[in-house]
Structure 1
Amino acid sequence: MGKEIDPSKDGGIEVINLKEALEERYLAYALSTIMHRALPDARDGLKPVHRRVLHAMRLLRLDPVNAPKKCARIVGDVMGQYHPHGDQAIYDALVRLAQDFAQRYPLVDGQGNFGNIDGDSAAAMRYTEAKLTPIAQLILEGLDEDAVDFRETYDQANEEPVVLPAAFPNLLANGSQGIAVGMATSIPPHNASELCDAALYLIKHPETSPEQLMTFIPGPDFPTGGIITDNAKTIAETYTTGRGSFRVRARWEKEETGRGMWHVIVTEIPYLVSKSRLIEKIAELLQERKLPLLADIRDESTEDIRIVLEPRSRTVDPVLLMESLFRLTELENRVSMNMNVLSQGRVPKVLNLAEALREWLDHRRDVLVRRSRFRLAAIDKRLEILGGLLIVYLDLDKVIKIIREEDEPRQELMKVFKLSEIQANAILDTRLRSLRRLEEMELKREQEKLTEEKNEIEQLLVSEDKQWTTVAWQIREARKLFGAETAVGKRRTTFADAPDTSDIDFNEVMIEREPITVIVSEKGWIRALKGHVADLSNVQFKGDDNLKLSFHTETTAKILVMADNGRFFTLEASKLPGGRGFGDPIRLMVEMDESADFVTAFPYKAGSKLLLARSDGRGFVAPADDIVANTRKGKQVINLDDPAKAMLCCEVQGDHVAVIGENRKLLLFPITEMAEMARGKGIRIQRYKDGGISDIKTFTLSEGLTWKDTSDRTWTVAQDELLPWLAHRAESGRLPPKGFPKSNKFQ
């Protein structure tokens, strides 16, 4: 072993614990993402990039009354002075502020291609122009009047506002979306007029709960309209916790086209759903034949959305058609709410509705106080100047003489008239033409007016009640821009209950109803031929396999499969392989034990009953509804004891049971003597000394007992002739009538 070297002595290497270094750096990254990128400030509802865009546009004098400027100029200013990130990220943020389908109240008035609801992106920034909207002006109002704090920009060369004055409830009005580290935010847009009404009520009743505020704010108001189908209780819970979601559906109407035909016209789609992607998805489902009620879809949209849905036939129920589309497409969408914001601009916190409005109102009061103090300082400065001007007006000749003859007129004026430096400077800056008697009267009127305003501001600053009264007045004035009576302020999203579809089996509705013939082979391969095929002589099977059974049904049906281990499985007829090949093994379609074998298959009939029998002659009647399995594992219905196996299953169609054993003994007894259960071992059906059961069926005694012989001829024994075989369950029976097949089978 050589001598240990300490690298820090001669190599200048600092040893750092990797775990601590990673924790420190990741925490710094996480805080940066949370505070400066992903979460909006609860006061102005803006993220730093949006705040910087608006501030830069204001400095560029892009007011609503002025001409717009190239977006490239705006992005350049934002990136160079305030936001040291990529130009495309800044432009994307600017574009979103201008999109009327993304922003309920756009803050940027864009000219050119700013993207569309189809998901198309905006034109390059060199082609587009932008300026501020009147609502953005409200958010920026008072920025020059010390309304908010400023901080140094990233290069310490300039200053930027920490938060904007926000005379508009932007957080809830326009909403916000963002993903930070370990947290996210998702705030849907709301109606600003309703938010103002709720805020005014909150000023008078500070303890108001989020649920009470729903009197004014029933729910979100999306820029793309739509219909919210959640009930008031669910919405109240979302607003109370600050977390939840809203179920939004497209708005549609039925349009008659003549001769009994009609179309469905979709005029509004859910928020943040791309129209082109929505139509592509519906078209794909049409091609995959998953929308049997729909024939075609067309997009006839211009400036307004108009999606035309053609039904398969005039007999289709339009409500049922739309419900099927709501289940499978984004015509119904969930808009999440997670009001995770920076409370007071510092602490990430999930707020409820009342807390979010309270943060905005408290901020508006702070802005009012700061602007009032700024105005008061300006008034004091002006009154000081006016006081000096009015003093010198008493002896203008002396003033003029001092200015003309003295080397230091400022000092002389201050000495002679006992003026301050500010007053002396104001006198020296006064134009000669202003030295008139008329000007003196104007100054006195201005002095009186400013003194009155000063008194009002001083009273405002010492009275919290007056401050809240002024905030309420400002909110009412701002509301005139976006009130419910204005085009931009009218509520677009409405509320309605979704139709009750609990009695509709959508699995059946979503499948095109067609007749099929199901074929099952001896080795358990299954397939479905189109139509009801009577002649199966040309049907081919794999290798030495042969036909075991076949039956007619429809694509909307369910197929029940019975295995000899007593389990029943359920297959969807619509998902069976087609008839071009040999089909697929049932064993691969369900989770059947390797030791189990397939026994029989038949179409499920709702409400029917099945007679089940084991090989040892025990059995019971089971409701078919209780046998349907919802998983691949199936459902255990017949409980078994070795060596017994599940052997027979037939539908109950009659009032008597006919059972024949391997000993060729036939027994008839009333069906009422059989036990009915959903699962079990069953009870004894027929008694045997040797062997077990061979076949079983149910029949109506008055119609007689029928069977088919080996020549496929049907035999019928009338009721009167059956008396020797009529007995009770669990008896042995006797040899069957003449003509009964030697196979001991009824068919």
Structure 2
Amino acid sequence: MGKSLIPPGDGEDRSEPVDLKTALEERYLAYALSTIMHRALPDVRDGLKPVHRRIVYAMSDMGLRSNGGFKKSAKIVGEVMGNFHPHGDQAIYDALVRLAQDFAVRYPLVNGQGNFGNIDGDNAAAMRYTESKMTSVAELLLRGIDEDAVDFRTTYDEENEEPVVLPGAFPNLLANGATGIAVGMATSIPPHNAAELCDAALHLIKHPNARIEKMVELVPGPDFPTGGIIVEDRESILEAYKTGRGGFRVRARWEKEETGRGGYVIVVTEIPYQVQKSRMIEKVAELLLARKLPLLDDIRDESAEDIRLVLVPKNRSVDPTLLMESLFKLTDLESRVSLNLNVLSKGKVPKVMSLPEVLLEWLEHRKEVLQRRSRHRLAAIERRLEILGGYLIAYLNIDEVIRIIREEDDPKAELMRRYDLTDLQAESILNMRLRSLRKLEEFEIRKEFDGLTAEKADIEALLASDEKQWATVAWEIGEVKKTFGKDTELGRRRSTFGDAPETDIEAIQQAMIEKEPVTVVVSQKGWIRAMKGHLSDYSGLTFKEGDKLKFAFPAHTTDKIILFTTGGKFYTLGCDRLPGGRGHGEPVRIMVDMDNDQDIVAAFVHDPKVRLLLASTVGNGFIVPQSEITANTRKGKQVMNVKLPVEATLCVPVSGDCVAVIGENKKLLVFPLSQLPEMTRGKGVRLQRYKDGGVADVKTFAMEEGLSWQDSAGRTHTKTQQELAEWIGDRAQAGRLAPRGFPRSGRFGN
């Protein structure tokens, strides 16, 4: 018979209905808390996540001191996984590898032997090939671990014990930093200089309510293991450390190296933190191929132990600062390192803390460790003094003690009764070796007794005085500062501070585009393209069926193209981003948010020095500088306020001192340019008064040169000031019928 699938029991259904929403919320919250507490966020006291803490403690357990020998990383990983951390071996090894990488961690906790990866992003060798031991920094974090300095808890299999937090005699959280993504929260702490952190901590001991300005004076910013230049302004650094949230712009360190005959190359010696060198070089090479870096000719990696990237400019006339600014804008030679001081306060509460709050909690932890170690030492001294007291009684009555031990059935009870000894004292006397009975020993016991009594008094005085405790904590921090001072190789500041040079953003953007001549072509139906070269003859241009040429003008790929529409809006397009000359181009409406009922009135190359005269169909107009019309978004910039059925209809460059306006009624009016206002936005003022119809064309000119127009045959006609006398008036007048010979189209034609 097969196995029965009916559950044992009386057959009753014991399942309970559960609300799915509640069940999911409970379980997801449990998962979220587990991730926050046991995986993603570091403890503010020792700056470690559980996996790192377990690695360091396991290495300590294995006796892998900084001055001892190495052991295979596989053995360490096995120890961590088997005893403390029930997760995958690769995850543990990856965490161990990072603790050994001097380009990833400012003060490594693991001294690695073998291939532990590199700044190019190459992985470490397998754990069976590498060896590890602790560094002196890890030993500092563990100092006092066997003196009841911290609480222990049982491990996952309840066979061993592990520390809840390490004693942390080193300001590890800020010195080495941390990153992590939990559920609903994340942390990102850049590395800092340990000597500066010690200075700030010592200042906080004396002034617990120190101002953030003073703290940032002592800790001016991060100190990355890979160096670099921090170009963040002081105000935003202050704000970041005050709130616990912010970021730092970090740039590569570079210098100009002369190559002779006026030539030069740029040599990059330090790159920003956590940037993979090989990936960054690939990105620069891609940009070179895409012709996005016209100032750069080549990039070479000549790095050995130190970083050396050689950037070759296109020619010796290229400005090195401009070249670097274009690279900073497009590549990871400049990167932003974020600050999010989200840590576990007291090992339990996730909290975003400020710089002083983090250091104050570390100091409180150091004080608590000092108290616990002192109480542990006091208990050990009292036990030893009790034993020594028993020894002294034994020496004073040595013959009788020997007789009792030799003759009595229960010597321990007899000794306790006769000399009023404690159980510990009697046991110690019975366990004493015969060689300890020499006469000299009594003197040594008294000496040890007096020494321990004095030490006991000192510890009791320390535990009774808050001031003495802080003085001891300050002395310990001072010792750490000496070990990692700025005069030491490991402690010297690597990242420096600087200002990003004031360079013209326009110039940088131009530097990113290769300057080539093009002809911009716009069709009646609003299709746009950029043909290579400056075309002199537009008759060969082809268009879609039913479409024809509207505008065509020469430009360069570095230019900005301005479009003005009947809705009174200006749109800006980068000439380098226009579709090429193959085919018919693309509709302008794909590139900008232009309404379907609007049409293009004018298209031209942007020149910030030139002013424009705008006019609407009803004859209103004003002057606008081109510097005010560029738009940074697809939505464009509303400059002329018009409402249907009124539309913007004319956009002409301003020159000279007079304006000539002709209406659809064929009436011409000439008036001084000074009568038109210059505005950045508006409806405009009346140019000419009409009974019926609106404006046909407008032109600005210099009166001394006269007003000229072209007829249908292409001939140019010019009228002098005297000949124009009857048409000269003031703005908003009706004007008079145009002179004989004026084109029937009602337009000036040039």
Q: For residues 101 and 479 of structure 2, what CA distance do their matches in structure 1 show?
A: 26
Distance 1:695 1:295, change over 3 A: same
Q: Which amino acid counterpart does residue 739 of structure 2 have in structure 1?
A: P
- Pairwise mapping of residues 216-255 of structure 1 onto structure 2 (< 5 A)? 216-255=218-257
Q: 1:372 aligns with which of 357, 371, 374?
A: 374
Q: CA deviation at 1:54?
A: 1.0
- Pairwise mapping of residues 549-698 of structure 1 onto structure 2 (< 5 A)? 549-640=551-642, 645-662=647-664, 666-686=668-688, 693-698=695-700
Number of residue-to-residue matches in the alignment: 740
Question: Is 1:285–1:291's contact at 8 Å kept on the other side of the alignment?
Answer: yes
Give me the TM-score of the superposition, normalised by structure 2. Answer: 0.91
Match of 1:4 in 2: none
Q: For residues 228 and 293 of structure 1, what CA distance do their matches in structure 2 show?
A: 25
Q: Answer with 74-83 or 207-216: which moved more.
A: 207-216
Q: SS state of the match for residue 515, structure 2?
A: coil
Q: 1:95 aligns with which of 94, 97, 106?
A: 97
Question: Is 1:703–1:718's contact at 8 Å kept on the other side of the alignment?
Answer: yes
Q: For residues 623 and 318 of structure 1, what CA distance do their matches in structure 2 show?
A: 33
Q: Which amino acid counterpart does residue 395 of structure 2 have in structure 1?
A: Y
- Pairwise mapping of residues 371-410 of structure 1 onto structure 2 (< 5 A)? 371-400=373-402, 403=405, 408-410=410-412
- Pairwise mapping of residues 69-148 of structure 1 onto structure 2 (< 5 A)? 69-148=71-150
Q: Answer with 72-81 or 545-554: which moved more.
A: 545-554
Q: SS state of the match for residue 222, structure 2?
A: coil
Question: Is 2:522–2:529's contact at 8 Å kept on the other side of the alignment?
Answer: yes
Q: CA deviation at 1:169?
A: 1.2
Give me the TM-score of the superposition, normalised by structure 1. Answer: 0.92
Q: Answer with 374-383 or 562-571: which moved more.
A: 562-571
Q: 1:265 aligns with which of 264, 267, 275?
A: 267
Q: For residues 565 and 343 of structure 2, what CA distance do their matches in structure 1 show?
A: 59
Q: CA RMSD in A?
A: 2.8
Taking only the aligned residue pairs, the percentage that are identical comes to 63
Q: 2:299 aligns with which of 288, 297, 300?
A: 297
Question: What stretches of structure 1 of length at least 5 have no aligned partner?
Answer: 1-6
Q: 1:35 aligns with which of 7, 23, 37?
A: 37
Distance 1:406 1:516, change over 3 A: same
Q: CA deviation at 1:172?
A: 1.6
Question: Is 2:520–2:553's contact at 8 Å kept on the other side of the alignment?
Answer: yes
Residue by residue over 1:89-131, the C-alpha shift from the partner in whole angstroms, topping out at 9 and shown as x without a partner, is 2112211211112211111111112122222222211111110
Q: Which amino acid counterpart does residue 128 of structure 2 have in structure 1?
A: R
Q: Does 1:466 align with 2:492?
A: no
Q: Which amino acid counterpart does residue 90 of structure 2 have in structure 1?
A: Q
Match of 1:358 in 2: 360
Q: For residues 461 and 572 of structure 2, what CA distance do their matches in structure 1 show?
A: 81
Distance 1:653 1:335, change over 3 A: same
Match of 1:338 in 2: 340
Q: Answer with 53-62 or 638-647: which moved more.
A: 638-647
Q: For residues 192 and 35 of structure 2, what CA distance do their matches in structure 1 show?
A: 26
Q: Answer with 52-61 or 726-735: which moved more.
A: 726-735
Question: What stretches of structure 2 of length at least 5 have no aligned partner?
Answer: 1-8
Match of 2:477 in 1: 475
Q: Which amino acid counterpart does residue 324 of structure 2 have in structure 1?
A: M
Distance 1:223 1:681, change over 3 A: closer
Match of 1:443 in 2: 445
Distance 1:88 1:520, change over 3 A: same
Q: 1:317 aligns with which of 316, 319, 327?
A: 319
Question: Is 1:665–1:736's contact at 8 Å kept on the other side of the alignment?
Answer: no
Match of 1:194 in 2: 196
Q: For residues 549 and 36 of structure 2, what CA distance do their matches in structure 1 show?
A: 68
Q: For residues 122 and 279 of structure 1, what CA distance do their matches in structure 2 show?
A: 21
Question: Is 1:211–1:239's contact at 8 Å kept on the other side of the alignment?
Answer: no
Q: For residues 364 and 682 of structure 2, what CA distance do their matches in structure 1 show?
A: 70
Distance 1:158 1:311, change over 3 A: same
- Pairwise mapping of residues 511-522 of structure 1 onto structure 2 (< 5 A)? 511-522=513-524
Match of 1:24 in 2: 26
Q: Answer with 251-260 or 396-405: which moved more.
A: 396-405
Q: Which amino acid counterpart does residue 210 of structure 1 have in structure 2?
A: I
Distance 1:411 1:337, change over 3 A: same
Q: Which amino acid counterpart does residue 472 of structure 2 have in structure 1?
A: T
Q: Which amino acid counterpart does residue 491 of structure 1 have in structure 2?
A: R
Q: CA deviation at 1:402?
A: 5.0
Q: CA deviation at 1:209?
A: 3.2
Q: CA deviation at 1:171?
A: 1.6
Q: For residues 713 and 368 of structure 1, what CA distance do their matches in structure 2 show?
A: 100
Residue by residue over 1:469-526, the C-alpha shift from the partner in whole angstroms, topping out at 9 and shown as x without a partner, is 2222222223222112211111112222222346645444432222222222344332
Question: Is 1:567–1:635's contact at 8 Å kept on the other side of the alignment?
Answer: yes
Distance 1:693 1:477, change over 3 A: closer
Q: Which amino acid counterpart does residue 189 of structure 1 have in structure 2?
A: P
Q: 1:733 aligns with which of 725, 736, 741?
A: 736
Q: SS state of the match for residue 704, structure 2?
A: helix
Q: CA deviation at 1:136?
A: 0.7
Distance 1:716 1:496, change over 3 A: same
- Pairwise mapping of residues 135-214 of structure 1 onto structure 2 (< 5 A)? 135-214=137-216
Distance 1:438 1:12, change over 3 A: same
Q: Which amino acid counterpart does residue 150 of structure 1 have in structure 2?
A: F
Residue by residue over 1:353-384, the C-alpha shift from the partner in whole angstroms, topping out at 9 and shown as x without a partner, is 22211211111121112111211222222222
Distance 1:414 1:529, change over 3 A: same
Q: CA deviation at 1:606?
A: 0.7
Q: CA deviation at 1:416?
A: 5.2
Residue by residue over 1:160-205, the C-alpha shift from the partner in whole angstroms, topping out at 9 and shown as x without a partner, is 1111111111122112222222222222221111111222222222
Q: For residues 142 and 160 of structure 2, what CA distance do their matches in structure 1 show?
A: 18
Distance 1:634 1:465, change over 3 A: closer
Q: Which amino acid counterpart does residue 92 of structure 2 have in structure 1?
A: I
